[in-house]
Structure 1
Amino acid sequence: MKITVIGSQGQLGQDLTARLAGEGHEVSGLTHQQISIENASSIADALTQTAPELVINTAAYNKVDLAESEPEVAYAVNALGPRNLALYCQQHQIALMQISSDYVFGLDLSREQGYREQDAPGPVSAYGLSKLAGEYFVRALCPQHYVIRTCGLYGKAGKTGNGNFVETMLRLGQERDSLSIINDQYCTPTSTRDLSEALARLIATEQYGLYHVTNRGQTTWYELARTLFEIAGIEVETQPITTEQYNAAADRPRFSVLDCSHLEQVTRFEIPDWQTALENYIRS
C-alpha cells in the first residue's frame, strides 16, 4: 500500500514510518516544511506528488497551556487541518488516519473506569476541544477513516528536541535534587514504538472507525516518574502534588485512561502494559 505520513519527523511519525516500511508498504513522509495542513492548496500540492492510498496525520498543535491564550491557532491546526485533509481524501477516495488525544475527555470528575469509544467526550481545555473538533470533521467527511485516540506519547525522537515527559524527567532527575510531580491525574503513558505496532496491525485489517490505542494499565505522572527513576537508577527526592498546586494555565483530565479492548478484538493484538513499555524504552 502507498502510505503518506504527515509529521514524519515527530516521535510517532518516525517510528510509524519505519514500522510500516518494514511491513513492505511504500511509505513517504512529509514534514511541516513540505505540507501545511491548514492550507488546502498545500495539501493538494503535496499529496498529488505522493499519490497515497492512505494518509496518516500525526501533525498537531500540542502546546496545551499556550492554547488557552491562542485557541484560534490550536483550532487551525487540530480541527481545520484534519477537515482539509478529510475533504481532500474524500474527494480522491483516499483513506485517512487521524491521531487524536485522551484530552477529549476530562469533564467527568467521578470517572474510575477506562473510557470506551462509545462514551461521551467532554474536553476541559482549548486543546482538547480542538482535537475533538478535528475528530468530528474526519468522521463526518471521510468515509474511509481511522480516528486514533492515544495518550502521553514518548519515543526516541523526543531525545532530539521534540520532548516528552519521560525524557524531561530523565533530564530533571539528573539536574535537580528534588522534584514535585502531579499525582492526581490518571492516564496511560504510551510508547510510540508499541503504538506504531498496533496501528500497523490495524491498517492491515482495513476495519475503519474510532479506536482507543494506548499501552495497558493506568498510572499517575508521579508514579510514572518514580518507576522511571527506579529503572534508570536515578536517585532524586520526589514530592507528590495536586493539579491545583501545579497551577497550569490549562486544565487537564483527572482521569483519561482509555479502554483498548475494541482494538484488541479487531487486531487480535494485545499491546504491552505501560511498565514493560517504559522498561523497554529505557533499556534500549
Structure 2
Amino acid sequence: MKAMIVGADGQLGRALQEILGDDAIALGSAEIDITSPESISSQLDTFNPTIVFNAAAYNFVDQAEDEPEVAYRVNALGPRNLAIECQKRDKSLVHISSDYVFGLQSSLTPWTELDTPGPVSAYGMSKLSGEYFVRSLCSKHFVVRTCGLYGHAARRGTGKGNFVETMLRLGNEREELRIIDDQKCTPTNAHDLAVTLCDLAITTSYGLYHATNRGAATWARFAEEIFAYLRMPTKVVRITSTEYHTKARRPAMSLLNCYKLEAVLQNPLRTWESALHEYLDQRTD
C-alpha cells in the first residue's frame, strides 16, 4: 500500500506516519492545499499513491461560528476536491469525520452509521457536508467518524492542542477546574485510530464507519481519570453545559456505535482508560 497522508502535521497525521513509516508520503499544509484542485492533482500525479488518508481539517469549533465559509471551504470543499481527483485516478480515499455531525436529535444509545445526522454548529455542518461529498463522488471511500481525539503531536508542538494536554497545563496552574459533565463522549487515542484506519484501508469494505476507543465518559470524568492516574491533586468540579458558555453548541450525546467496524476487522479498539494510561506513560518517559 503506497499511501499519501494529507494533513500530516496534525495529531492523526503524525500517528499515521509513525505506523506507515517509509511507505507514507506525508504532506502538510505547506505541501498541499486541499482547497485547490490543482494542488491535489499535482501531488497525486507526482507521487501516484494507491490510497489517500485525509487527516486535514479546520477544527476551530467556536471560531467556525464567526467564519463558517472558512470551515466549509476546508471541511467540505477540500474533501470534495480530494474525492473528485481520487475518483479520476481510481484511488481509495480515507476521510476522517466527527461526532459533531450529530446533536440535533437526542438518543439514549450510541449513534450508528444508519442514524440520521443533525449538526448543531457550523463546524458540524461543514464536516457533514464533507462526508456527503466523499461518499457521493469517490466510489472507493472510507468515511470514518471519531470522537475526542488526542495525540502526541500536540505535545511536540506540531499539532493543535488536545483535551489531555489542556487539562495537564491547567491542572498545573490551578487547584480546581470546572469541567462539563453532561456531554457523553469516548476519548480516542490518535495512535489507536491510526492503526485501525490502516487496517481498514487494506480491505475493500468501503463505506461509512464509526471508530473510537471503547467505553463512555463525560469531559469531567475524562479529566478526573487524567489527574487520578498521574496523582495530581487538581479537583474537578462537575458542571452543566449551561454553566460553561461556548459560541458553538456541542452534542450532548457523542457516543458512537463501532459494531460495524468491529465486524469488518474482528478487532475492537481497547478501552479509553487503557489507551489514556499508555499515552500518559509515554508522555512521562
Q: Aligned equivalents of 1:238 and 1:271: distance in 2?
A: 28
- The residue that corresponds to 2:117 in the other structure is 121
The answer to whether the aligner puts 1:88 opposite 2:93 as a matched pair is no
Tell me, yes or no, if the aligned pair for 2:3 and 2:52 is still in contact at 8 Å.
yes
Deviates more, 1:195-204 or 1:66-75: 195-204
Task: Tell me the CA shift for residue 178 of structure 1.
Answer: 1.2
**Secondary structure, in 3 states, of the residue corresponding to 1:32?**
coil
Q: Aligned equivalents of 1:75 and 1:103: distance in 2?
A: 14
Query: Pairwise CA RMSD of aligned residues?
Result: 1.0
Instruction: From 177, 180, 188, give the equivalent of 1:190.
Output: 188
Tell me, yes or no, if the aligned pair for 2:6 and 2:55 is still in contact at 8 Å.
yes
Paired residues for 1:245-264 under 5 Å: 245-264=243-262
Instruction: From 194, 214, 225, give the equivalent of 1:227.
Output: 225
Deviation sequence 1:87-127 (CA, Å, 0-9, x none): 10111111111100000011123x11111111110101000
**Secondary structure, in 3 states, of the residue corresponding to 1:160?**
coil
Runs of 4 or more above 6 Å deviation:
none
- The residue that corresponds to 2:201 in the other structure is 203
Paired residues for 1:19-34 under 5 Å: 19-21=19-21, 26-34=23-31
- The residue that corresponds to 2:130 in the other structure is 134
Q: 1:275 is aligned with what amino acid?
A: E
- The residue that corresponds to 1:15 in the other structure is 15
Q: Aligned equivalents of 1:185 and 1:237: distance in 2?
A: 19
The answer to whether the aligner puts 1:43 opposite 2:48 as a matched pair is no
**Secondary structure, in 3 states, of the residue corresponding to 2:49?**
coil
Q: Aligned equivalents of 2:203 and 2:73: distance in 1?
A: 31
Q: 1:170 is aligned with what amino acid?
A: L
Task: Tell me the CA shift for residue 45 of structure 1.
Answer: 1.5
**Secondary structure, in 3 states, of the residue corresponding to 2:232?**
coil
Q: Aligned equivalents of 2:175 and 2:216: distance in 1?
A: 27
Task: Tell me the CA shift for residue 236 of structure 1.
Answer: 1.1
Q: Aligned equivalents of 1:55 and 1:196: distance in 2?
A: 13
- The residue that corresponds to 1:101 in the other structure is 98
**Secondary structure, in 3 states, of the residue corresponding to 1:205?**
coil
Deviation sequence 1:229-253 (CA, Å, 0-9, x none): 0001111122111111111000000
Deviates more, 1:152-161 or 1:140-149: 152-161
Q: Aligned equivalents of 1:126 and 1:243: distance in 2?
A: 18
Q: Aligned equivalents of 1:172 and 1:70: distance in 2?
A: 28
User: TM-score, normalized by length of structure 2?
Assistant: 0.96
Q: 2:144 is aligned with what amino acid?
A: I
Task: Tell me the CA shift for residue 206 of structure 1.
Answer: 2.4
Q: Aligned equivalents of 2:115 and 2:236: distance in 1?
A: 35
- The residue that corresponds to 2:176 in the other structure is 178
Tell me, yes or no, if the aligned pair for 2:94 and 2:201 is still in contact at 8 Å.
no
**Secondary structure, in 3 states, of the residue corresponding to 1:158?**
coil
Q: Give the gaps of 5 or more residues in structure 2.
A: none
Q: 1:238 is aligned with what amino acid?
A: V
Q: Aligned equivalents of 2:47 and 2:63: distance in 1?
A: 33
Q: Give the gaps of 5 or more residues in structure 1.
A: none
Q: 2:124 is aligned with what amino acid?
A: G
The answer to whether the aligner puts 1:151 opposite 2:147 as a matched pair is yes
Tell me, yes or no, if the aligned pair for 2:3 and 2:24 is still in contact at 8 Å.
yes
Task: Tell me the CA shift for residue 19 of structure 1.
Answer: 1.1
Q: Aligned equivalents of 1:130 and 1:232: distance in 2?
A: 37
User: TM-score, normalized by length of structure 1?
Assistant: 0.97
**Secondary structure, in 3 states, of the residue corresponding to 1:238?**
strand
Deviates more, 1:139-148 or 1:25-34: 25-34
Q: Aligned equivalents of 1:27 and 1:64: distance in 2?
A: 29
Q: Aligned equivalents of 2:36 and 2:13: distance in 1?
A: 20
- The residue that corresponds to 2:6 in the other structure is 6
Give % identity: 51
Aligned length in residues: 280
